[in-house]
Structure 1
Amino acid sequence: MTRPASRTSADRLARLLNLVPYLLARPGIEIAEAAGDLGVTERQLREDLELLWVCGLPGYGPGDLIDMAFDGDRVTITYDAGIDRPLRLTPDEALALVVALRMLAETPGVANREAIERALAKIEDAAGDLVGAPVAVRLPGDARRVEALRAAVEGGRALRIVYYTAARDETTERVIDPLRMLMVGGRAYVEAWCRRAEAVRLFRADRIDAITELDEPATVPPQAVPHDLAGGVFRPSPDLPLITLRIGRSERWITEYYPCERVEAGDGDQWLVSLRVTDLSWARRFVLGLGPGATVVAPVELAEQVRATAAAALDAYAVPAPVAGSGGSAPDTAAAPDAGSEAAARDTATSGSAAS
């Protein structure tokens, strides 16, 4: 069975790092003996020694690279390029490590936070004043909300939450049994069994409006299996609605932000883009948000929804607002709707029509 290349590379790197101090402690050792101690063939050891010859300090000239002398089948390290000296961090390196560890400690779902905090304390203690500058690391969103979710996960408690679902533009109350906290795309999520949906769901922390810890343990049924999020939170499937849009240059960003099934060049600067959506209600709001630069090509149902919504907005501009104290009727001298707003609504209504 062939070993993975990454594993072989990792093994060789570890061997090379140990090889120099090993040889320094045994000047003039026979290559056969060294190979036996290190668990490699003589040929592999000779290849490692040849690689060491091009390793060393920046500059990579005489006096910078590791050097050695051969006497028959014996080898002696003559210059170790400082590899035997204790590691010293520069101020920038120490600060970078501290910031990275602080961020890791704040990340939801990270196991063994105590080990991270111990490592952070050791680096801060060793670096001393090098990392004395005030550096605050906080994840985006409400830190108290994330901490409450994390505590519920670690304590195994059920939660009652008020959650905003962007796909349906609605707020609901749910009771959930948390499974884990995780970070995806820079956002904190709690994955939980939702008793309302009777399924495992992901809840974005910044869309949870209220959290109440219940006086009962989390009860996760056997069929509750965490999602595989290697490909991201949203994973389009063939059973979801497929929409096709004609977009201009300024709307091309959606092809990088959303997973698209098809992107084709159209006339001029226009592109035809097809993507899966959770439902057409979300797609309608999405298209309206793009403005007049996007036109619905398919499905016809979505085009009609966009056109109807935009037309209703246009009609709202055409009705003068009632004047206070007039009994609900507006005077003949009521101000006309803003011309720019009316034109924008008319453009949006036009963009919602299906292409012929």
Structure 2
Amino acid sequence: MTRPAARGGSRASADRLARLLNLVPYLLARPGIEIAEAAGDLGVTERQLREDLELLWVCGLPGYGPGDLIDMAFDGDRVTITYDAGIDRPLRLTPDEALALVVALRMLAETPGVANRDAVERALAKIENAAGDLVGAPVAVQLPGDTERVRELRDAVQRGRALRITYYTAARDESTERIIDPLRMLSVSGRAYVEAWCRRAEAVRLFRADRIDAFTELDEAAVVPSRARPADLTDGVFRPAPDLPLITLRIGRGERWITEYYPCERVEPGDGDRWLVSLRVTDLGWARRFVLGLGPDVTVVAPAELADQVRAQAVAALDAYASALPPGAAAVADPAGSWAGR
């Protein structure tokens, strides 16, 4: 079996929904507008606009009879909305609907990386003002992983200053100090990141907020080179490149979660209930610590270098354990081969 390719279509659907919601008030304000002119204003082709108009014809109020649906008239290449199905009526929210919108907007305002936070806060203020006491109950919104450190980093990024950070790199198991010029804050899979130009690496890097051990806001403005580009995180933070090391593991039933948590290039059934899993890693040092942390139900199949590293560290750990045993105590059998194969 293989892992599915990147998901597609959801972004296009969201864009079309936004366009349809904007289309009716746009046409209401411009009766008799030429389709070509409307397509140009809306940034779509004439064909796409005609497809949107055909979809609008089957949209409307519950009941969805002829008198409930949006209707329009065509005069050659001109279009006029003749019935808008009440889309221009003032929106009236129930208390539950108003409260749900307030909670959603507060959560959106707290999400790192929101492109136009001012627009979110303006919309929130309008709804709270219109709803009045309907949403007067105190509501506290906190995203997963939204710690005090994340809030401090978000404020620092918004001030547009360069930061000196002490950062722990899990792949190399080391902490380094570097100066970064932040681009934005992001939230991916429940974790907060600072995306920034790293002066040490001379490239754009993602820094996990919970791995920034310390940071200092400098007295200089963040200066991001014109060649720097934000990362495409559509498929997640880690996007394995073909030049990264490829490792193959034989895993038992209890370790199959690996195939859901990490991007795997190949997953195949093996002997019994075991699977053969191949995935790319940033380096073999990280892979060694990863395999040792999984336990004895995992065997390194390839590369041989990783198997040797795992075996050597497992044996060293067992030797250290044996030397710490009291006189006369029996050491456990050597399980190093369970990780590395023999």
With the length of structure 1 as denominator, give the TM-score of the two structures. 0.73
Partner of 1:353: 340
Using the alignment, how far apart are the partners of 2:54 and 2:271 within structure 1? 61
- Cα offsets for 1:27-60 (capped at 9, x unmatched): xxxxxxx9x625469xx99x97997577422xx3
In structure 1, runs of 5+ residues without a counterpart are 23-33, 69-76, 322-329
For 1:308, give the aligned amino acid. A
Instruction: Please report how far the alpha carbon of residue 220 of structure 1 lies from its aligned counterpart in structure 2 after TM superposition.
Output: 3.2
Tell me the SS of whatever aligns to 1:146: helix
Using the alignment, how far apart are the partners of 1:125 and 1:262 within structure 2? 54
Using the alignment, how far apart are the partners of 1:192 and 1:10 within structure 2? 30
Tell me the SS of whatever aligns to 1:352: helix
- Cα offsets for 1:57-86 (capped at 9, x unmatched): 2xx388994599xxxxxxxx9x98766653
Q: Which one of 99, 102, 109 corresponds to residue 98 of structure 1?
A: 102
Instruction: Please report how far the alpha carbon of residue 267 of structure 1 lies from its aligned counterpart in structure 2 after TM superposition.
Output: 1.8
For 1:154, give the aligned amino acid. Q
Answering whether residue 154 of structure 2 is matched by residue 150 of structure 1, we say yes
Q: Which one of 222, 225, 231 corresponds to residue 235 of structure 2?
A: 231
- Cα offsets for 1:260-309 (capped at 9, x unmatched): 11111112221111000001111111111211221111001111111122
Q: Which one of 122, 125, 130 corresponds to residue 121 of structure 1?
A: 125
Between the aligned residues of both structures, percent identity stands at 70
- Cα offsets for 1:117-150 (capped at 9, x unmatched): 1111111222233333332222334643223333
Using the alignment, how far apart are the partners of 1:224 and 1:111 within structure 2? 18
Answering whether residue 182 of structure 2 is matched by residue 187 of structure 1, we say no
In structure 2, runs of 5+ residues without a counterpart are 1-10, 37-48, 72-81
Partner of 2:306: 302
Contact 1:152/1:178 (8 A) holds in 2: no
Equivalence map 1:261-276=2 (5 Å): 261-276=265-280
Contact 2:60/2:70 (8 A) holds in 1: no
Matched residues, number: 311
Partner of 1:289: 293
Using the alignment, how far apart are the partners of 1:308 and 1:9 within structure 2? 57
- What value does the CA root-mean-square deviation take over the aligned residues? 3.7
For 1:138, give the aligned amino acid. Q
Contact 1:167/1:278 (8 A) holds in 2: yes
Instruction: Please report how far the alpha carbon of residue 234 of structure 1 lies from its aligned counterpart in structure 2 after TM superposition.
Output: 1.1
Using the alignment, how far apart are the partners of 1:255 and 1:203 within structure 2? 24
Contact 1:300/1:354 (8 A) holds in 2: no
Instruction: Please report how far the alpha carbon of residue 219 of structure 1 lies from its aligned counterpart in structure 2 after TM superposition.
Output: 3.5
Tell me which stretches of 4 or more aligned residues in structure 1 moved more than 6 Å.
47-51, 61-64, 79-82
Contact 1:298/1:354 (8 A) holds in 2: no
Equivalence map 1:1-356=2 (5 Å): 14-15=22-23, 37=32, 39=34, 55-57=60-62, 60=63, 65=68, 85-141=89-145, 143-320=147-324, 332=327, 336=329, 342=332, 346-347=334-335, 349-354=336-341
